[in-house]
């Protein structure tokens, strides 16, 4: 079943007995929508942005898409599309290195599952399996409607109730086991590559932990794409094309996620320098000025993204679905700017970078 969530996302655009795939796309265009969908490790999101007077039509269409009729002919055609997409990402090593390493790092935990699935799992998937998954997962209690911008709250609630009144509620369960991440070193050789790509993992903070804001600031100070410790040590000196560190929070787990792209001949030296930066920060901490700079950059990015309703929509929905909290932009920015350096130092005192997992993908063994 690996990849079924993403496959079903595609099938939702194929319509039902009332609308064909062409009808779905035509209606989106007629109401002037900017629209798309994506699937991540923990959710599938369908979204659209329209002028206020077109919102009722957008809600009707998105609601209709939650109840697609899975025609065999559409299923067979879209399976070929998904297999092509898997092949396309195989040619993108900066994505591939994380797909390969994530499965290894999480050691059977659901967060290590491939979003796209594999050629084997998608080839074997049947329409009946997808229909069972649709009826189970697209249950009202497992769906969240999120709106941002200029709209009438009561009118939206009334319309959503009307559009979903016939939907059958089903009990939805999800496996949320404890994680036992892998440590050490691993990799794969691909003689067709001209660069070495490296994924680096260390334990982080989950969505339910208020320290996640400090973890985000800490990761930015260490590994933002410009002006961070890793940038000055590796990218500015021309030793690596990319050297970054992010913090990702999921619904029970979190991780620091690093990435390197470098010439094969210097990859080992670059990895050593990357790890030296992590160990130095872990032993000595970051400075108050580094902390303030990272806070300001994150706060600016959050504020600018929220300047448009569509920019606000994603973070609002993800946080609410994961934590049940509604957080205004001002409150999120306040939490970032209020994250204490002392909290970051406490996270470093737990020595997450002593438990790293490094995975290399390149033309030579590293």
What one-character DSSP code corresponds to residue 306?
A: T
Residue 243, beta-bridge partner list:
260
For the stretch 166-195, pLDDT in tens is: 999 988 888 788 899 999 999 999 999 999
What is the C-alpha separation between 244 and 69, in angstroms, rounded? 43
- Mean per-residue pLDDT, 95-122: 94
Strands 44-49 and 34-39: antiparallel
- Mean per-residue pLDDT, 30-49: 96
pLDDT band for position 365 (50/70/90)? Answer: confident
What is the C-alpha separation between 137 and 18, in angstroms, rounded? 22
Residue 157, beta-bridge partner list:
none
- Residue 187 has a pLDDT of 96
What is the C-alpha separation between 307 and 24, in angstroms, rounded? 29
HSE of 96 in the Cβ direction (CA atoms, 13 Å)?
A: 21
Residue 34, beta-bridge partner list:
49
The token pair at 302 is: 């959050």
**Backbone dihedral angles phi then psi of residue 201, each to the nearest 5 degrees:** -125, 150
What is the C-alpha separation between 300 and 170, in angstroms, rounded? 42
- Residue 95 has a pLDDT of 94
- Measured in whole angstroms, the distance separating CA 195 from the mean position of its chain's CA atoms is 25
**Backbone dihedral angles phi then psi of residue 351, each to the nearest 5 degrees:** 55, 55
For the stretch 290-327, pLDDT in tens is: 999 999 999 999 999 999 999 999 889 999 998 999 99
- Mean per-residue pLDDT, 64-87: 95
- Average confidence score pLDDT of the chain: 95
- Angle between the 153-163 and 55-65 helix axes, to the nearest 10 degrees? 30
- Residue 175 has a pLDDT of 78
- Residue 17 has a pLDDT of 82
pLDDT value at 52 more than 90 = yes
Pick from 155, 134, 156, 133: which is nearest to 145 by CA? 156
pTM over 0.75: yes
């Amino acid at each position: 079943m690996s990849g079924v969530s993403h496959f079903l996302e595609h099938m939702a655009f194929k319509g039902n007995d009332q609308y064909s795939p062409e009808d779905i796309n035509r209606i989106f265009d007629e109401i002037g929508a900017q629209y798309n969908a994506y699937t991540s490790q923990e959710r599938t999101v369908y979204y659209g942005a329209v002028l206020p007077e077109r919102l009722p039509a957008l809600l009707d269409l998105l609601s209709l898409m939650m109840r697609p009729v899975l025609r065999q002919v559409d299923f067979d055609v879209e399976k070929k599309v998904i297999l092509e997409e898997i092949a396309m990402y195989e040619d993108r090593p900066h994505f591939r290195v994380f797909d390969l390493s994530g499965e290894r790092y999480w050691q059977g935990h659901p967060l290590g599952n491939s979003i796209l699935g594999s050629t084997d799992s998608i080839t074997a998937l049947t329409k009946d399996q997808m229909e069972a998954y649709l009826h189970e997962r697209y249950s009202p209690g497992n769906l969240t409607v999120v709106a941002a911008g200029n709209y009438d709250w009561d009118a939206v609630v009334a319309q959503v109730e009307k559009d979903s009144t016939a939907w059958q509620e089903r009990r939805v369960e999800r496996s949320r086991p404890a994680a036992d991440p892998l440590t050490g070193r691993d990799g794969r050789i691909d003689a067709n590559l001209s660069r070495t790509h490296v994924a680096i993992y260390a334990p982080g903070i989950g969505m339910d932990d208020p320290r996640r804001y400090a973890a985000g600031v800490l990761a930015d100070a260490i590994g933002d794409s410009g002006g961070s410790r890793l940038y000055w040590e590796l990218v500015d000196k021309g030793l690596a094309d990319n050297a970054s560190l992010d913090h990702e929070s999921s619904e029970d787990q979190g991780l620091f996620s690093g990435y390197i792209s470098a010439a094969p001949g210097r990859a080992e030296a670059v990895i050593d320098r990357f790890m030296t930066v992590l160990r130095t920060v872990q032993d000595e901490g970051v400075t108050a000025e580094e902390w303030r700079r990272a806070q300001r950059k994150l706060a600016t990015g959050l504020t600018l993204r929220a300047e448009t309703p569509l920019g606000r929509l994603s973070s609002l929905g993800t946080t609410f679905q994961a934590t049940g909290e509604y957080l205004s932009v001002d409150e999120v920015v306040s939490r970032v700017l209020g994250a204490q350096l002392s909290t970051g130092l406490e996270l470093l005192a737990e020595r997450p970078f002593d438990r790293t997992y490094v995975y290399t993908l390149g033309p030579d063994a590293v």
